[in-house]
Amino acid sequence: MNKESQIKPYEPSSGAALPTRFTLYMRQNFIYQVFRFIMINIKMTIIIWRSH
Amino acid sequence: MGRIVILGGGVSGHTAASFCKKWVGKKHEVVVITPNSKWNWIPSNIWVGVGKMSTEQVTFELAPIYKKQGITYIQAKALSLHPDGGLDSDSPYVTYEHTHKDKMGQQETVTYDYMINATGPKLNFSATEGLGPEHGHTVSVCTPQHAVHASEELKKVIEVMKSGKRQKILIGTGHSSATCQGAAFEYMFNVEHELNEAGVRDMADLKWISNEFFLGDFGIAGLHLKKGGYVTSSKVFAESLFAERGIEWIVKAGVYKIESGIVHYENLDGQKKTEAFDFSMLIPSFSGVGLKAFDKSGADMTEKIFAANGFLKVDADYTKKPFAEWRAADWPKTYQNPTYKNLFAIGIAFAPPHAISKPMQSTNGTNISPAPPRTGMPSAMIGKAVAKTVTDMIKGKITEPQGNHSMTEMGAACVASTGSGFFNGSAVAMTVFPVVPDYEKYPGVGRSLKYTFGEVGLAGHWIKHLLHHLFLHKAKFRPGWSFIPE
Ligand SMILES: Cc1cc2nc3c(=O)[nH]c(=O)nc-3n(C[C@H](O)[C@H](O)[C@H](O)COP(=O)(O)OP(=O)(O)OC[C@H]3O[C@@H](n4cnc5c(N)ncnc54)[C@H](O)[C@@H]3O)c2cc1C
């Protein structure tokens, strides 16, 4: 879906960053998300380890 | 045999109890006094609040679990602390009132060698006129029962939308100093997802209202993260999420009164405004649960042990000072009460030295800014750290608490789901390190940019589900429970 078509000029929300079609696609791309799942878990594990 | 008494069997108290028992074994007794018969994984109440989960999926009976583990369980609410003992004995004790139907209302006492207060927050709906599901006009997701009610009310407005009538949905904070913005934030996205699934999103006007100075403050002074070659504020991140979903927002708003369908709020400019709604979930302010403290003669000394907000004083620096003078060192490291060395407070029950977000006042002098949140991960980590201290003390290994378990040295992960489904779900996964910014160690942003990050996607949704199952597995003492991190 084309998110930029939602922008209403001069509304407070018009200053917000909107995801491009590619970003939206990558958020749901299974293979990329498996990779992100691993990366986020590694980062969270490091944070937990550093917090204890 | 010594006795460790833990008041409150929630996220932090349950964690403390489980590790205390693991580390003291049969040599000492661990007692948990908590009013509910069931344990609740509170973060998943959000899914109950949109009808995606039942209360059974987010709760379990405590009695059999504690029996299996050898923890003494008293279903009761604590009333008062007597850290010097009473007239006939020097042993410190606590009084409590049973909440189990067989002994309902009966009061008893139990002595202790060490006491951990983990009573969490009182959901202070009464601080805002007309707030809350019991005596007010708004719904809540703070307890499983509240969440079931919220889901039923949501279904009703969805039906109205299906009949062709537009509905206004307002979600956020219901008091000028409320905290827990993250929970409201997550609920907003889940409601939005639900409306999409029901095919009525175009019939709803969704609006956020909160006491934050900017969207994405979350009561932790916001956060900065690296995105697309920039160091970006969580304001940009949060506004983007809202704009993407067509959700409007009102910030710098202190809600002070709610009537049927109308929220009254004051903004930082001192203006009194209203906002209409058909369905509204607003988080109440939190306070201590109202425990009292008495000295040996029976004289009230509540103010000596508890701060004005009802939370227990610990080893924090409570000197009143302006935002510019706040330091990481103000935050407690051991959670030990300065007067009574065998008294500790964990999770939401400890009194923070001050807020994390910069305090803001309206031109009328009303404080409109979030109180400091103590979310699940730090609450549980503090619970485990204090369990270690107390068990080492009761075993005689140490006489003073060791280590630094400050929230300025501790990270937190927050995963806010924005829709369900194994292949099409989505969530915002965020981590902050440390929870309380340390502007001396990390000038400007207050946090490590390496370990503070946020992203949206299907992976976050998987993590959210994984956390739900892992934490319930851990809380039920299933095999390998102690290896699952807090
Ligand atoms: C809807 C919602 C969603 C959330 N989502 C997240 C999330 O995604 N991630 C996250 O990290 N955090 C989340 N949180 C915050 C998290 O739930 C809290 O940080 C955490 O529960 C705090 O733990 P606690 O032990 O201090 O308090 P609680 O878990 O509230 O436990 C307090 C316990 O004390 C008991 N008690 C009360 N009064 C007495 C008394 N007089 N005597 C004895 N016992 C008493 C209560 O019954 C309760 O069992 C969420 C909160 C809410 C409301």
Please give the Cα distance from B34 to B373 (Å, whole number).
Answer: 22
Q: Which of B81, B119, B220, B287 to mutate to test the pocket of ligand 1 (most atoms within 8 A of CB)?
A: B119
DSSP conformational letter for A9: T
Contact residues of ligand 1, CB 6 A cut-off: B 7-13, 33-36, 42-43, 45-46, 77-78, 118-120, 141-142, 180, 183, 289, 347-349, 374-377, 379, 414
Query: Contacts for B84-88 with beta carbons within 8 Å, 24 or more apart?
Result: B84/B295, B84/B296, B85/B111, B85/B296, B86/B296, B86/B298, B87/B296, B87/B297, B87/B298
Largest CA distance in chain B: 71
B131 CB-side CA count, 13 A: 28
For residue A32, the SS3 value is: helix
Please give the Cα distance from B258 to B134 (Å, whole number).
Answer: 13
Measure A35 CA to nearest chain B CA, in Å. 8
Q: According to the model, what pLDDT value does residue B423 have? A: 85
Using a CB-CB cut-off of 8 Å, the residues of chain A touching B206 are: none
Please state the atom number of ligand 1 nearest to the C-alpha of residue B42.
17
Is A51's CB within 8 Å of B410's CB?
yes
List C-alpha distances in Å: B485 to B95, B195, B378, B467: 33, 35, 11, 10
Query: Mean pLDDT of residues grouped by 10 in chain B (486 residues)?
Result: 96 97 96 97 95 96 96 98 94 97 96 98 97 97 98 98 98 97 95 95 98 97 92 94 95 98 98 98 97 97 96 97 96 98 98 97 97 94 97 96 94 84 87 95 95 93 92 94 88
Is B424's CB within 8 Å of A52's CB?
no
Q: According to the model, what pLDDT value does residue B368 have? A: 98
Measure A39 CA to nearest chain B CA, in Å. 10
**Residue A27 located in a structural domain:** yes
Is A27's CB within 8 Å of B457's CB?
yes
Chain A interface, mutation test: which of B414, B431, B486, most A Cβ atoms within 10 Å? B431
For residue A34, the SS3 value is: helix
Q: If you count residue pairs, one on A and one on B, with CB atoms under 8 Å apart, how many are there? A: 87
A42 contact B CB<8A: no
Q: Give me the residues paired with residue B453 across strands.
A: B431
Full-model pTM: 0.95
Please state the atom number of ligand 1 nearest to the C-alpha of residue B13.
25
Q: According to the model, what pLDDT value does residue B414 have? A: 86
Q: According to the model, what pLDDT value does residue A2 have? A: 65
Q: What is the ipTM of this complex?
A: 0.90
- Comparing CA positions, the residue from B235, B189, B231 lying closest to residue B215 is B235
List C-alpha distances in Å: B325 to B317, B330, B434, B437, B440: 12, 10, 18, 13, 11
Q: According to the model, what pLDDT value does residue B330 have? A: 98
Number of domains in chain A: 1
- Comparing CA positions, the residue from B368, B366, B367, B354 lying closest to residue B210 is B368
A47 contact B CB<8A: yes
Quick one: closest CA in B to A32, which residue?
Answer: B459
**Residue A3 located in a structural domain:** no
**Residue A36 located in a structural domain:** yes
A33: domain range?
9-51
Q: According to the model, what pLDDT value does residue B485 have? A: 86
Give the pLDDT mean for A29-48. 93
**Residue A2 located in a structural domain:** no
Please give the Cα distance from B378 to B445 (Å, whole number).
Answer: 20
Q: Which of B60, B374, B375, B468 to mutate to test the pocket of ligand 1 (most atoms within 8 A of CB)?
A: B375
Residues from B in contact with A at Cβ < 8 Å: 236, 239-240, 242-244, 246, 248-249, 381, 384-385, 409-411, 413, 423-424, 426, 429, 431, 433, 451, 453, 455-460, 462-463, 485-486
Between B322 and A52, residue with greater pLDDT: B322
Q: According to the model, what pLDDT value does residue A51 have? A: 80
* Cis preceding-peptide flag for A19 (omega within 30 of 0): no
The residue written with tokens 């031109």 in the block is: B363
Task: Pick B242's closest partner by Cβ from A13, A28, A47.
Answer: A13
Please give the Cα distance from B280 to B139 (Å, whole number).
Answer: 6
CA of B473 to the centre of ligand 1 (A): 18
Is A37's CB within 8 Å of B239's CB?
no
Using a CB-CB cut-off of 8 Å, the residues of chain B touching A50 are: 411, 433, 451
- Comparing CA positions, the residue from B8, B13, B145, B15 lying closest to residue B471 is B15
Please give the Cα distance from B272 to B204 (Å, whole number).
Answer: 25
- Comparing CA positions, the residue from B220, B385, B413 lying closest to residue B315 is B385
Quick one: closest CA in A to B384, which residue?
Answer: A52
Is B458's CB within 8 Å of A46's CB?
no
Query: Per-residue confidence at A1, pLDDT binned at 50, 70, 90?
Result: low
Using a CB-CB cut-off of 8 Å, the residues of chain A touching B235 are: none
Chain B interface, mutation test: which of A2, A4, A44, A45, most B Cβ atoms within 10 Å? A44
User: B9-47: string of b/e by CB count within 10 Å (b at 16+)?
Assistant: bbbbbbbbbbbbbbbbeeebbbbbbbbbbebbbbbbbbb
Cβ contact B386:B333 at 8 Å: no
Query: Where do the domains of chain B lie, and which CATH numbers do they carry?
Result: 3-123+287-364+372-406 (3.50.50.100)
Query: Contacts for B149-153 with beta carbons within 8 Å, 24 or more apart?
Result: B150/B48, B150/B49, B150/B50, B150/B281, B151/B48, B151/B49, B151/B50, B151/B51, B153/B279
Cβ contact B178:B196 at 8 Å: no
Please state the atom number of ligand 1 nearest to the C-alpha of residue B374.
19
Going by their DSSP bridges, the two strands B93-98 and B72-82 should be labelled as antiparallel
Q: According to the model, what pLDDT value does residue A8 have? A: 81
Is B381's CB within 8 Å of A33's CB?
no
